[in-house]
């Protein structure tokens, strides 16, 4: 595997994990917002 492929794989891994965390946090905030109404 070339350095570019390794770097791309690493970036994609970080990005997908960040996206999952972001979505999880987003839904948590929505739940808290609804429950406080």
DSSP per-residue string spanning the chain: --HHHHHHHHHHHHHHHHHHHHHHHHHHHHHHHHHT-
The reported pTM is 0.53
**Given this model, what pLDDT does residue 37 score?**
60
d(CA 35, CA 37): 6
Token couple for 30: 């929505």
**24 has pLDDT over 90:** no
d(CA 37, CA 28): 15
d(CA 31, CA 25): 10
């Amino acid at each position: 595997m070339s350095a570019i492929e390794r770097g791309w794989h690493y970036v994609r891994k970080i990005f997908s994990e960040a996206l999952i965390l972001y979505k999880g946090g987003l839904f948590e905030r929505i739940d808290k917002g609804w429950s406080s109404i």
